């Protein structure tokens, strides 16, 4: 068993909702992340999926300490980093970097690629002293498959896939141990997505990186993830290995997401019954009582409105399929076709 590089314990991020212009009064809170616990093992890729607004990016920002947690802990190699500030924060931040969704807006159009990739060295000059920076940036360009001679070009001179390579090079500059990829291929053409994912996988092997890979749907994370966590309205509803999630999902929400994943084989596609979820996602400012998914769940009973289901290994699962799911009525769904 690999060691945990990151441990997240009961993490909460609430954004205050205020009213009034002069005297702001708090009238509620958006519960973007509402009590999430999981771990990331060294060298693994943990996929995080869920619909828009479920709190994936907020989770990433709190882990990176770009946003302060409302409560809970984030342990990096056993040390709680959630309340650090100043030099101590700066030192751990080096180890956790992020690659953003949209390579069109996340790169400053007025900066050269060399300046963009080398910018982190301004904050951490110890990684590449001034005289070595140009060479360090050229090496990074080479590592992500771009011509080192492009160092003086501007972002608009690159394609979407190339820009995301620039974003990845920047993420690698400080030699981090963890990279959080927030929908890194969602803005790219399907034909380019696989190339960027292959690059990320190759870099993971070369540098021993641990990844959190955020996406909307299960089809993208399947290829790259060792484990997958499914989020709904600020909560983790199911988490397990690739196989446990894709073959033995027990949470109705995971099953609904899986039923929407495109299947290449047309016979399997026809015989598979698709779950269409009723209704919209409730507001994270006012989530349903008990199980948050109950308002859209076909299995919901009275108990679901009264009791919050805990994330735990359900008794219906034994042996190799055992993994955590937060449902009062967990069961593996019979697929019409395997």
218 binds ligand ATP (CB under 6 A): no
57 binds Mg ion (CB under 5 A): yes
CB of 65 within 8 A of CB of 57?
A: no
224 binds ligand ATP (CB under 6 A): no
Determine how many CB atoms are found less than 10 A away from the CB of residue 182: 22
Q: Which of 5, 8, 30, 203 binds ligand ATP (CB under 6 A)?
A: 30
Segment interacting with ligand ATP (CB under 6 A) among 2-10, 48-56, 126-134, 168-176? 48-56
Considering only residues 8-27, where is the footprint of ligand ATP by CB under 6 A? 15
292-324 burial, b for 16+ CB within 10 Å, e for fewer?
A: bbbbbbeebeeebeeeebebeebeebeeebbbb
Residue 52 Cβ vs ligand ATP, minimum distance, rounded to whole Å: 3
Q: Which of 56, 170, 235, 296 binds ligand ATP (CB under 6 A)?
A: 56
- Select 153 or 216, whichever has its Cβ closest to ligand ATP: 216
Which of ligand ATP, Mg ion, none interacts with 297 (beta carbon under 5 to 8 A by kind)?
none
SS (H, E, C) 48-85: EECCCCCCHHHHHHHHCCCCCCCEEEEEECCEECCCCC
CA distances for 23 relative to 15, 19, 285, angstroms? 18, 8, 21
Q: Which of 4, 45, 58, 295 binds ligand ATP (CB under 6 A)?
A: 58
| Of the candidates 199, 194, 188, the residue with the CA atom closest to the CA atom of residue 100 | 188
Determine how many CB atoms are found less than 10 A away from the CB of residue 179: 23
Return d(Cα 306, Cα 338) in angstroms, integer: 35
Segment interacting with ligand ATP (CB under 6 A) among 55-63, 121-129, 166-174, 315-323? 55-63
Segment interacting with ligand ATP (CB under 6 A) among 54-62, 89-97, 270-278, 292-300? 54-62
Which of ligand ATP, Mg ion, none interacts with 52 (beta carbon under 5 to 8 A by kind)?
ligand ATP
32 binds ligand ATP (CB under 6 A): yes
Residue 234 Cβ vs ligand ATP, minimum distance, rounded to whole Å: 7
Residue 53 Cβ vs Mg ion, minimum distance, rounded to whole Å: 8
CA distances for 129 relative to 114, 149, 167, 188, angstroms? 15, 21, 21, 34
Q: With contacts defined by CB under 5 A, how many residues of the chain interact with Mg ion?
A: 2
Strands (E), the chain: 4-19, 25-41, 45-49, 71-76, 79-80, 96-99, 178-182, 210-215, 227-232, 235-241, 324-325
Report how far Cα 216 is from the mean position of its chain's Cα atoms: 9
Residue 215 Cβ vs Mg ion, minimum distance, rounded to whole Å: 10
Q: Which residues here bind Mg ion, judged by CB under 5 A?
A: 56-57
Q: Which residues here bind ligand ATP, judged by CB under 6 A?
A: 15, 30, 32, 50, 52-58, 216, 284
């Amino acid at each position: 068993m690999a060691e945990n590089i990151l441990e997240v314990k009961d993490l909460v991020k609430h954004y205050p909702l205020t009213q009034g212009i002069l005297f702001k009064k708090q009238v509620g809170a958006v519960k973007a992340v509402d009590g999430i616990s999981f771990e990331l093992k060294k060298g693994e890729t943990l996929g995080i999926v869920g619909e828009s607004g479920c709190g994936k990016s907020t989770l990433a920002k709190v882990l990176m300490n770009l946003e302060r947690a409302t409560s809970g802990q984030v342990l990096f190699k056993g040390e709680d980093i959630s309340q650090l500030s100043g030099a101590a924060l700066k030192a751990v931040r080096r180890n956790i970097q992020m690659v953003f969704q949209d390579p069109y807006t996340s790169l400053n159009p007025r900066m050269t690629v060399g300046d963009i990739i080398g910018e982190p060295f301004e904050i951490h000059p110890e990684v590449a002293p001034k005289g070595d920076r140009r060479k360090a940036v050229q090496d990074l360009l080479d590592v992500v498959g771009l011509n080192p001679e492009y160092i003086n070009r501007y972002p608009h001179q690159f394609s979407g896939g190339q820009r995301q390579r620039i974003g990845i090079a920047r993420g690698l500059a400080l030699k981090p141990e963890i990279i959080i990829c927030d929908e890194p291929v969602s803005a790219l053409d399907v034909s380019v997505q696989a190339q960027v994912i292959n690059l990320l996988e190759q870099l993971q092997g070369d540098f021993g990186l641990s990844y959190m890979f955020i996406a909307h749907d299960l089809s993208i994370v399947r290829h790259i993830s060792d484990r997958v966590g499914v989020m709904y309205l600020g909560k983790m509803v199911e988490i397990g290995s690739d196989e446990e999630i894709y073959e033995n999902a027990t949470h109705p929400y995971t099953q609904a997401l899986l039923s929407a994943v495109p299947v290449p084989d047309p016979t399997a596609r026809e015989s598979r019954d698709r779950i269409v979820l009723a209704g919209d996602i409730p507001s994270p400012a006012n989530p349903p009582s008990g199980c948050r998914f109950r308002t859209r769940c076909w299995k919901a009973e009275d108990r679901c409105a009264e009791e919050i289901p805990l994330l735990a290994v359900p008794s219906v699962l034994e042996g190799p399929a055992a993994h955590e799911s937060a449902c009062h009525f967990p069961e593996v769904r019979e697929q019409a076709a395997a």
